């Protein structure tokens, strides 16, 4: 497992039961923690590291998965990481940080999934020990040495990304894409998956450049691409951006994700707590006062015969 050293500092909206649960988890975690463990604020959205995923260009070779393993010294079995085994569906694990699978029913496409590196990450806001933190350059990094295994990050993530090392009973860790930050990005190199892609389905750069590129491709080929860049606004924006020729919801992407960052929803819940406590305290105080008066009041005089 890679240990990443600290670098830098570190809608229509439909509320589902899961979103509410995420908010409650965040509220409980955030309300009981020192301020220093919470997210330190949004990064500059236009300037963070970013990757554009052009789904129609992906041929499903899974070279990006092998590139991720090499770049991060991971040890997941690689016997299924090729085109011949595309029918074998792979799921992310603590040591398999990106996967490519065939998605869709009527029209199938190869879709790469990994941590989206949200611009305002919910996993960072709920982590009670700052094991997850966001650098000024955008990548959301995991520090194994700080993790206590609470798994709040798994509940809070809107994309179900962090994976727990369930088969390790002594020192389990969380596994997620680190954006090759310490191994490559901070050395001026692109992520291992981008470098390994043979078709240009992955392109690396600053987010404003990738967003411009995404919109240009969509505008140039309206007969091919759906008019939407996934990740531009979802949960406040993500560093990984997708364009597609098939509606995203038909490829397994979540619909109705809020445009607001999830940490802001968390703080909405947290902000209710003082008011709720004050109201409940007043009600209980009034109830106790009334009970006390009844207990000490003289008995009513009896009627004379």
User: Which region among 1-5, 105-109, 287-291, 298-302 has the lowest average model confidence (pLDDT)?
Assistant: 1-5
Separation CA 18–CA 263 (nearest Å): 15
| Burial category of 88 from C-beta neighbours within 10 Å (exposed 0-12, middle 13-18, buried 19 and up) | exposed
Mean pLDDT of the 40-46 span: 70
From 12-16, 20-24, 25-29, the region with the lowest mean pLDDT: 12-16
Residue 63 neighbours by CB under 8 Å, 6+ apart: 196, 197, 198
Asked if the model's pLDDT at residue 8 lies above 50, the reply is no
The Cα–Cα gap between 60 and 88 comes to 12
Q: Would you say the pTM of this structure is higher than 0.85?
A: no
The predicted pLDDT at position 225 comes to 98
Both tokens assigned to 212: 């411009």
Residue 163 has pLDDT above 90, yes or no: yes
The three-point CA angle 60-65-70 to 5° equals 145
Q: Are 237 and 43 in contact (CB under 8 A)?
A: no
Residue 279 has a pLDDT of 76
Q: How far is CA 128 from CA 176, 193, 196, in A?
A: 18, 31, 36
Which residues, including other chains, have CB under 8 Å from residue 146's CB and lie 6 or more apart? 129, 130, 131
DSSP at 38: S
Give residue 286's pLDDT band: very low, low, confident or very high (50, 70, 90). Answer: confident
Looking at residue 203, its pLDDT comes to 98
Least confident of 26-40, 79-93, 127-141, 151-165: 26-40
């Amino acid at each position: 497992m890679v240990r990443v050293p600290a670098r830098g500092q570190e809608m229509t909206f439909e509320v589902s039961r899961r979103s509410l649960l995420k908010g409650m988890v965040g509220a409980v975690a955030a309300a009981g923690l020192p301020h220093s463990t919470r997210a330190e604020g949004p990064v500059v959205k236009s300037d963070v590291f970013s990757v554009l995923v052009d789904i129609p260009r992906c041929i499903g070779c899974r070279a990006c998965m092998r590139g991720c393993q090499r770049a991060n010294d991971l040890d997941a079995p690689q016997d299924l990481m090729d085109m011949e085994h595309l029918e074998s569906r792979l799921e992310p694990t603590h040591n398999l940080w990106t996967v490519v699978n065939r998605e869709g029913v009527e029209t199938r496409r190869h879709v790469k999934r990994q941590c989206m590196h949200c611009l305002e990450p919910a996993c960072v806001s709920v982590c009670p020990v700052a094991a997850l933190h966001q650098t000024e350059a955008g990548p959301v990094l995991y520090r194994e040495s700080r993790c206590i295994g609470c798994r709040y990050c798994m509940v809070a993530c809107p994309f179900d990304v962090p994976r727990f090392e369930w088969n390790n009973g002594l020192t389990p860790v969380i596994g997620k894409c680190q954006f090759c930050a310490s191994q490559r990005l901070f050395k001026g190199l692109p992520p291992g998956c981008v470098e390994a892609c043979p078709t240009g389905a992955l392109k690396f750069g600053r987010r404003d450049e990738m967003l411009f590129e995404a919109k240009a491709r969509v505008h140039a080929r309206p007969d091919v691409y759906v008019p939407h860049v996934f990740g531009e606004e979802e949960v406040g924006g993500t560093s990984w951006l997708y364009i597609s020729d098939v509606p995203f919801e038909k490829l397994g992407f979540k619909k109705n994700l809020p445009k607001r960052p999830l940490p802001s929803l968390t703080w909405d819940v947290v902000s209710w707590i003082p008011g709720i406590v004050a109201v409940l305290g007043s009600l209980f105080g009034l109830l106790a006062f009334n009970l006390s008066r009844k207990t000490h009041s003289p008995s009513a005089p009896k009627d004379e015969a």
